[in-house]
Every structure is written in structure tokens, then in C-alpha cells.
Amino acid sequence: TFKTRLGKLQLNKPQIREFAFKTFLFENYQRSEKALLATIQQMVIEGVSTNKVKNVLNKLSPGLECSKSSVSRLVVELEPIVQAWRNEKLEDHFEYIISDGTYFHVRENDHVVSMPLLISCGVDTNGYRRVLGVDISDEESEETWRDHIRSLKERGLKSVNLTISDHHPGLKKVLYEEFSGVPHQRCMVHFERNLLSKLPAKERHIAAECLKQVYNSPDKEMALDIAEMISKRYQKKYPGFSRLLNSSIEETLTYFNFPSKHRKKIRTTNILEGIINRKLKQRSKVINIFPNKESCLRLMSTILMEIDEEWRTFERKYIDIKNENNMINEEEDEFLNEIKNLKNRIGGKEIEKVHF
């Protein structure tokens, strides 16, 4: 009996005494069509529970069945594909790298624990997004993040223009040490949440509107001036809010040192928070509790593989790196031409200071 997407087929196998019969159509002892097995694997990746796979197959063709254990075995067979993707060679330079952790429930030693999945994404030199790496660990610590970042470097990553993350102290320390001299952008959304938690609920809406003016400022100097005004407003009544704002606001404004068209896309970890983590959480709701950390990493990696493939193959550029660089060069040329024209107009005299 051979199971296919169109139902069961009865195949008559010839009985030959002289030698063992073998067909090039199927592997020895194969009982199911490979396309059917791939369909089952894809259903699990898309979020269909192993219990529901049986009902789906029955809808395709009455009598077509696949046990829960068989479904689980088929998912395990994805392991070599997952490992090949996780060990894939990386480019030596990325414009931006974003790192963050998200938690899942995993059964460990007969107990259900919350384990972090450590994920890093990047924007390459052509402006496309990439999923760079994923690991799972017992805790989110400096050591586990260091192992994660070093694994990216072992796969070929050498340099980056900017690192982006939340305020996790271990992760920040690792990024500063592993990418020495590279500026770091603290996620402004995470910081804003922490900041607003220092205020009562009735004050948060107005404070949030004020903070928008900081992050939408045309330059860093004006952003700092507005932040100082906000701090003075709340200093007497809510000193904790003012202290946090004064001490940490500048590390959320690193994006002002980069091209203006990039800023909204590099000032937060929204690539991970808004797209990847949300999709991973949606798929994990079907399972709820993973039987072990290996199964969690395997399934989440297959989802990340699909996201990475979509980003590389079908999606438009996330940031137009080349055009932005050309625009910067044009602005520099225009500035130099203005200087030359000004010198000519005043007879070539020395200019000590020029403001435009």
C-alpha cells in the first residue's frame, strides 16, 4: 500500500528469485509519496497541530491517515535542513544588526520552564533584511549572548556599522566587546515603555506625546533640548522619571548619526518585535508547551528559514543603501560648490566660519 496526496494505491511487487527486485520510482520500504510527506511537514510548520493533520489528510482523501507519532518523526527529519541553514556562511559585513530574545514554554526534566530564543537579524550592504542566526538556551545571560554573537562571527561576520538591541545589560556588553568601536542604538520603544512606567496612568498620554517630539526632531541637538525641557517639567513631581530620562536618553538617539531615511528603521527592534516574534508566537500557540528545547529550536528555525527566504527572494529592499550613499555624495558636492561660489563672490578671501 502506497500513500499519496490523491489517496492510497495498491502496488503489486514482482517476486523474483534470482535477484532482489528494486524500482527507481520509490526507495526500498517507502510507504508514502515524498510530496505527501513534505505537505505534512509544511502543515506543522504553518501551525497545524499534529492531531489535526490526521483530519486534514482525511479531507484530502478518505482513509488517508498519519499517526501523531509519524507526524512527529517527519518533523524530526527536518533537522539536517535546519542545521545546514543555521551553519550557512554569512557575509563579512552588514550595515545594521538587531538582536533580541523571545521566550517559549518548554518541558525540561518533568517541569515546564520559560526558555529564551536568541535571534539576530541584519540589513546587508544591498539593503535587504536577513535572519542571521538563532539559538536556544536555559537563560538569557551575558554568556549565552556571547556564544550567540560569536557563532555569527565564526560563520563569517566581521564588521557592522550599528548594533541595535534593548537594554539587556549582558547583551549590550557583548555587543560593545565583540564589535569594538561600533556605535549602539538602544531601542527607543523599550526605553519609552520603561520611562512611562515611572508616571501614573493619567500622565502617560501627555508624556508620550512630548517624547514623540524628541524622536521626531530634525537633529540630535534639538532632541536633547526638548528632552531637557520635558525633564524639567516632571522633575519636582516625578523625579524618577526625570532621572531616567536624563541618564539614558542619549543612548536612544544614536540613530541621528546615520542617514535621515534610515532613522525610523534603525531606532527600534521592530524588525524582531513586530514581525518575527509575532509570527513565532502565533505558530507556538498551537503547541503551547514544547516537549524539549530541541523541538522548539527546530520548529522556530524552520519558520525563520521561511522568513529569511521571503526577505531575500520576494521582498523589496528594506533600506536603499546605495541611493542614500549617492545622495550623501551629491549633498557634499553641493556644499563644496557653495563654498567655492562664496569664495569667488568675496574675492577669494579666507573664510573662517560659514553657516548654512
pLDDT in tens, the chain (356 residues): 777 666 677 778 788 777 777 777 666 655 555 565 666 666 666 656 666 666 666 666 666 666 666 666 666 777 888 899 999 999 999 999 999 999 999 988 889 999 999 999 999 999 999 999 999 999 999 999 999 999 999 999 999 999 999 999 999 999 999 999 999 999 999 999 999 999 999 999 999 999 999 999 999 999 999 999 999 999 999 999 999 999 999 999 999 999 999 999 999 999 898 889 888 988 888 778 888 888 889 888 888 988 998 898 888 889 988 765 554 445 555 555 665 665 566 555 444 444 44
Transcribe 320-335 into DSSP letters: -HHHHHHHHHHHHHHH
Looking at the DSSP bridge assignments, the partners of residue 165 are: 186
Q: Which own/partner contact pairs does 79-83 have at CB distance under 8 Å and 24+ positions apart? A: 79/298, 81/302, 81/305, 82/297, 82/298, 82/301, 82/302, 82/305
**Model-wide pTM > 0.85:** no
User: Could you read off the pLDDT of 154-196 as tens digits, one per residue?
Assistant: 999 999 999 999 999 999 999 999 999 999 999 999 999 999 9
On the CB side of 218, CA atoms within 13 Å amount to 0
End-to-end CA separation in angstroms for the chain: 81
Residue among 301, 330, 329, 233 nearest 79 (CA): 301
Residue 61 CA to residue 254 CA, distance in Å, equals 58
Query: What is the model's pLDDT at position 93?
Result: 96
Torsion angle of the four alpha carbons 191, 197, 201, 205, in this order, in degrees rounded to the nearest 10 = -10
Identify the burial level of 290 via C-beta atoms within 10 angstroms of its C-beta, where 0-12 means exposed, 13-18 middle and 19 or more buried.
buried
- Radius of gyration in angstroms for the set of CA atoms belonging to the chain, rounded to a whole number: 28
Residue 19 CA to residue 284 CA, distance in Å, equals 50
